[in-house]
Amino acid sequence: MNEIGLTHILFVSTILFFIGVYGFLTRRNMISMLMSIELILNSVNINFVAFNKYLYADKLDGTFFTIFIITIAAAEASVAIAIIIHLYRNLKSVDIDDADMMKF
């Protein structure tokens, strides 16, 4: 218990993941939902880095994946914010419950 092992880190990333999922499912504000998605992505990043360090210390694949995910997250955030801005212009609101036109 005096050394921080893989388990600890996975524990942290799991908590982070579920905080993100919880936030995504309960937040009404679209910006907050976007932030929750970032949390989910980052928890995955932690996993990648941790597994890389503890199991395959001589390889860099996990680190590369993390960098890819960060890049894609940035792109995704810009697209998502563009969508949010458009929705705001149409609905005068960033509440996700107001954007429910696509139904039966």
Partner 1 sequence: MNGNFYIALIPLLPLATFVLLGLFGRKYLSSISGIIGTLSLLISTLISITTAYNYFLVDGKVNGVYQKIIAFNFTWLQFSPNVSIDLGAILDPISVMMLVVVTFVSLMVHIFSLGYMKGEERFATYYAFLSLFTFSMLGLVLSTNIFQIYMFWELVGVSSFLLIGYYFEKPSAVAASKKAFIVTRFADLGFLIGILILAFNAETLDFGTLIERLTNPASPYLINATTLSFFGMSALTWGLVMVFLGGAGKSAMFPFHIWLPDAMEGPTPVSALIHAATMVVAGVYLVARLFPIYSFDVTALHVVMYVGAFSALLAAVIACTQTDIKRVLAYSTMSQIGYMMFSLGVSSYGGENGLGYMASMFHLFTHAFFKSLLFLGAGAVIHLVHSNEMKDMGGLRKLMPITHITFLIACLAIAGIPPFAGFFSKEEILLAAFHSNKLIYGVALFTSGLTAFYMFRLYFTIFWSKPSYANASDGRESHAHAEHGEGTSTMKIPLIILGACAILAGFFPIASLVTSDGAALETHIDIVFSIAPVLLAIGGILLAMNLYKSENDKPQKLAISLGGFYTAAHKKFYMDEMYLFITKNIIFNIIGKTAAWIDKNIVDGFMNFLAGFTALISELIKGLQSGKLQQYAIYFFVGVIGFMLLFIYIWA
Which stretches of the chain bind partner 1, using CB under 8 A?
A: 21, 24-26, 96-97, 99-104
Phi, psi of 95, deg, nearest 5: -80, 125
Minimum CB–partner distance for residue 102 and partner 1 (Å): 5
Give dist(CA 52, CA 68) in Å, integer: 15
Minimum CB–partner distance for residue 100 and partner 1 (Å): 3
Contact 45, 29 (CB under 8 A): no
21 or 46: CB nearest partner 1: 21
Minimum CB–partner distance for residue 3 and partner 1 (Å): 29
Which amino acid, residue 54?
Y
Q: Where are the beta strands (DSSP E) in 1-104?
A: none
24 or 51: CB nearest partner 1: 24
Phi, psi of 27, deg, nearest 5: -70, 135
3 or 103: CB nearest partner 1: 103
